[in-house]
């Protein structure tokens, strides 16, 4: 099923950037992510992906809109180490175990706190630079929004993969990125992620469960992959 394969790949990417530890913040954070074609010169939304994070009591719901009319979602339960993938178009959902992953940063990673601060959407952020052999990431991180850490679902079947240097470093230091720009060794921008809104609000428990009219879909287990 092509749609299911595409969804699984996208949720794998989302899971890498959506694994939070338990945090007191409750509400929604909307992020805009652009890739190599979505640089600072980008003026349209053709290459932008918007991700909405709903957070409550350690639970996370991530909804993504890539601008093509297709929406995808996932509900992450770190305590159960599970992710529920939502398929709104098919009115289906699938529950997968998240692979175990170390939160330790890579040994060749340098985390530089600059002391420079800026207020983004009402939250005080500190500029940090994460340097690795593959390039650098400039991050404006806020405290109090939870710890941004990778769940490392690296493949469509949930096979574990090493997290990025900047993700591991943020997990160690407890920052949530409200702005992040990653560049390769030559300085070329690879990805930009920016928060467009942070709304602290009370969310109903139903936000973190599949809709009642969705059917559960079970993918057969494959040896060597997350089940």
pLDDT tens, position by position, 103-132: 455 567 788 889 999 999 999 999 999 888
* DSSP conformation class of 164: P
Burial (CB < 10 A; 0-12, 13-18, 19+), residue 123, is middle
The tokens describing 47, both together, are 């290459």
Query: What is the per-residue pLDDT across 197-217, written as a single tens digit (0 to 9) for each?
Result: 999 999 999 999 999 999 998
**2-201 under CATH 3.40.50.10490, yes or no:** no
Q: Is 68 left (phi over 0), alpha (psi -120 to 50) or beta?
A: alpha
Location of structure tokens 């690879």: 190
Location of structure tokens 């240097």: 165
Query: For residues 72 and 98, what is the distance between their CA atoms, to the nearest angstrom?
Result: 18
The tokens describing 87, both together, are 């398929």
Query: For residues 65 and 113, what is the distance between their CA atoms, to the nearest angstrom?
Result: 33
pLDDT values of the chain reduced to their tens digit, one per residue, 227 residues? 444 444 444 444 444 444 444 447 899 999 898 885 433 443 444 478 888 888 898 888 889 876 676 788 889 888 898 889 999 989 999 998 876 654 455 567 788 889 999 999 999 999 999 888 888 989 998 887 865 544 333 333 333 334 455 666 666 667 788 999 989 989 899 989 999 999 999 999 999 999 999 999 876 655 544 44
Q: Is 62 left (phi over 0), alpha (psi -120 to 50) or beta?
A: beta
Give the residue extent of every domain in the chain. 2-201
Q: Taking a C-beta distance cutoff of 8 angstroms, is the pair 179, 193 a contact?
A: yes
pTM for this model (two decimals): 0.71
């Amino acid at each position: 099923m092509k749609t299911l394969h595409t969804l699984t790949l996208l949720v794998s990417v989302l899971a890498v950037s959506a694994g939070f530890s338990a945090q007191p913040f409750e509400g929604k954070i909307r992020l805009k992510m652009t890739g190599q074609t979505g640089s600072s010169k980008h003026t349209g939304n053709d290459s932008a992906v918007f991700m909405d994070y709903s957070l409550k009591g350690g639970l996370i719901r991530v909804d993504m809109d890539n601008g093509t009319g297709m929406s995808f979602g996932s509900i992450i339960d770190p305590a159960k180490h599970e992710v529920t993938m939502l398929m709104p178009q098919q009115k289906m959902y699938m529950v997968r175990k998240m692979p175990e992953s170390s939160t330790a940063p890579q040994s060749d990673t340098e985390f530089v706190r600059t002391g420079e601060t800026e207020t983004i959407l009402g939250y005080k952020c500190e500029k940090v630079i994460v340097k690795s052999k593959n390039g650098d990431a400039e991050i404006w991180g806020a405290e109090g929004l939870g710890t941004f850490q990778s769940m490392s679902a690296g493949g469509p079947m949930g096979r574990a993969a090493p997290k990025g240097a900047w993700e591991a470093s943020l997990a160690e230091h407890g920052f949530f990125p409200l702005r992040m720009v990653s560049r390769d060794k030559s300085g070329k921008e690879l990805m930009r992620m920016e928060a467009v809104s942070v709304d602290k609000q009370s969310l109903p428990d139903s936000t973190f469960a599949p809709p009642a009219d969705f059917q559960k879909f079970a993918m057969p287990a494959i040896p060597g992959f997350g089940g």
